[in-house]
Structure 1
């Protein structure tokens, strides 16, 4: 389910509660893009908080994120490309929430409430009458705080994260498959930030900015997978990502693909000093279980993996 139920405390009117099916798997980075990664690709550091190169990059617009992704994909292509043309992109809003929830149905992946020991937000403004806590007033390095059940870090708080979708005020209450909205004047952001209250870092919370707006509480996270198609267009529904085609599970039905084979088919990427760790997430047939992680990139000429 996507959105928030009617009885969730402090829910917003834009959080329509509805069933979403993700019929194709996707990869999602386990952290937001860091300042080190941004500088390696773009060559400048636009951020407000420069005390640690492993803090998430901020002060980047949706347009800036696309600039980064385009250049990253160009370098991958120059290095020989990837199996079946797998490239980086932003996650869709549905992919982002699915990964953030990590199989939970509570306001947070950590449960019914949070503390600043779990999430970087304004601890002076807790959620649903929770206890007050620390307010850091800045970003923290990625992986500083506990991951969600699927091993993804800082999905709640630290920086808002751009999504691929254009903003839709209401997503409706009807079941949908693989939603993605491509046209519109604003772009979706998810996750809340270091400066926001507890309400805004919930799994269901949605917000938006114009694609050219930058702020010191906005960054992004990389995804990879199938080519996005606008909601309502003809889609290859029910098919696995191209790099897992013809890989069948032990039951031979092809509805759930072998974990080992899926992640071993991820190509090696030559990205210099950049290590991008992705986790494969698949809903159809596997009920949203996380796949093993894989680090893509090279450091000192050797491939990193986990």
Structure 2
């Protein structure tokens, strides 16, 4: 719940909370800060969706077998790919090719490099339990409730997605090819407040690459072993068909590979919280203060109170009666 504080000589009146949570038009969010770098995370509510692509989707590949997936628990997902600024704040160096803006996504990082980053980040933010999303979590969040080839609809333009506009999707018009990454959150977000899920950089997922099942799945985690790790989302040099919601980068990339089109997105909380009552990952019109988990902050994401492990705060928010 939110407590209303009356004004006094030290403060103005307003809704207050001692947790770093907020809500805006996309839904519930939380933030962490490393030095002067802040990363926002979106709460993704559980649900069921069709993973993969229908057989009539243009430019689909055989490894996109459509199958129903149910995610039984909500989870947190960064609203942007990890920036160079955040990487440098944790690692102290910048491996990226395109270093003209620290808000650009970090790239030229391997899956193995990311594991080192996650370990160091956990030491900087005790209890964060940083991880990569599963492939199913990634696609569910990318689609944001849609069933079309893209979260923006049946087609895209370079004004929405950073890809090679010389190679549009399924009869679309040619457009801008930027030939580089762009700063995160500089292009439109999807309906759940997630930026650049299509294009800009491919994003590592936790899973080993493997064949999809054809039967319904619950909380899938991909193949148990393999030679390659999953990459999703397409990149700045990708063609239109390669940035679809269902597209899987299915060749060449072992855990040690690096490329100027490869980055990642954080999904904190290996031990995920129970889902609260109410649709907190819904758009603002479906989210009111009464629906938010106990202790939720207002739109400013209020901070303060006694320090606790980040993951313990998350668990407290969603289990407190």
TM-score by length of 2: 0.71
2:67 to 9, 15, 18: 18
Give the corresponding residue for 2:258: 214
Give the corresponding residue for 1:261: 293
Task: Please state if 1:198 is matched with 2:240.
Answer: yes
1:223 to 254, 267, 285: 267
**Which secondary structure state, in structure 2, belongs to the residue aligned with residue 96 of structure 1?**
helix
For 1:191 and 1:167, the matched residues in 2 are separated by 15
For 1:89 and 1:95, the matched residues in 2 are separated by 12
Provide runs of 4+ in structure 1 moved above 4 Å.
247-250, 265-269
After superposition, what is the alpha-carbon deviation per residue over 1:126-153, rounded to whole angstroms, capped at 9, x for unaligned? 0001100000000000011000011100
Please state how far the C-alpha of 1:185 moved relative to its aligned partner. Answer: 1.2
For 1:127 and 1:178, the matched residues in 2 are separated by 31
Task: Please state if 1:52 is matched with 2:101.
Answer: yes
For 1:104 and 1:210, the matched residues in 2 are separated by 30
TM-score by length of 1: 0.74
Please state how far the C-alpha of 1:89 moved relative to its aligned partner. Answer: 0.4
After superposition, what is the alpha-carbon deviation per residue over 1:148-181, rounded to whole angstroms, capped at 9, x for unaligned? 011100000000000000000x202100000003
Give the corresponding residue for 1:230: none
Distance 1:201 1:224, change over 3 A: same
Give the corresponding residue for 1:234: none
For 2:249 and 2:51, the matched residues in 1 are separated by 15
**Which secondary structure state, in structure 2, belongs to the residue aligned with residue 41 of structure 1?**
helix
Number of residue pairs matched? Answer: 241
2:278–2:292 CA contact under 8 A, matched in 1: no
Give the corresponding residue for 1:162: 204
In structure 2, runs of 5+ residues without a counterpart are 1-49, 280-289, 305-313, 315-321
Please state how far the C-alpha of 1:225 moved relative to its aligned partner. Answer: 3.3
For 1:260 and 1:47, the matched residues in 2 are separated by 39
For 2:294 and 2:184, the matched residues in 1 are separated by 26
For 2:303 and 2:63, the matched residues in 1 are separated by 40
Range moving further from structure 2, 122-131 or 174-183: 174-183
For 1:262 and 1:205, the matched residues in 2 are separated by 38
Give the corresponding residue for 1:62: 111
Larger radius of gyration: 2
**Which secondary structure state, in structure 2, belongs to the residue aligned with residue 224 of structure 1?**
coil
**Which secondary structure state, in structure 1, belongs to the residue aligned with residue 268 of structure 2?**
strand
After superposition, what is the alpha-carbon deviation per residue over 1:87-125, rounded to whole angstroms, capped at 9, x for unaligned? 110000000000000000000000000000000000000
Distance 1:109 1:72, change over 3 A: same
Task: Please state if 1:172 is matched with 2:216.
Answer: no
After superposition, what is the alpha-carbon deviation per residue over 1:195-253, rounded to whole angstroms, capped at 9, x for unaligned? 010000000000141000000000000002344xxxxxxxxxxxxx34x47x6569xxx
Give the corresponding residue for 2:78: 29
Write out aligned runs for 1:87-106 (5 A): 87-106=129-148
**Which secondary structure state, in structure 1, belongs to the residue aligned with residue 63 of structure 2?**
coil
Distance 1:134 1:185, change over 3 A: same
1:26–1:226 CA contact under 8 A, matched in 2: no
Please state how far the C-alpha of 1:259 moved relative to its aligned partner. Answer: 4.8
2:191 to 145, 149, 157: 149
For 1:25 and 1:226, the matched residues in 2 are separated by 12
1:160–1:189 CA contact under 8 A, matched in 2: yes
Task: Please state if 1:185 is matched with 2:234.
Answer: no
For 1:225 and 1:198, the matched residues in 2 are separated by 33
In structure 1, runs of 5+ residues without a counterpart are 228-240, 251-257, 270-279, 281-306
Please state how far the C-alpha of 1:260 moved relative to its aligned partner. Answer: 1.4
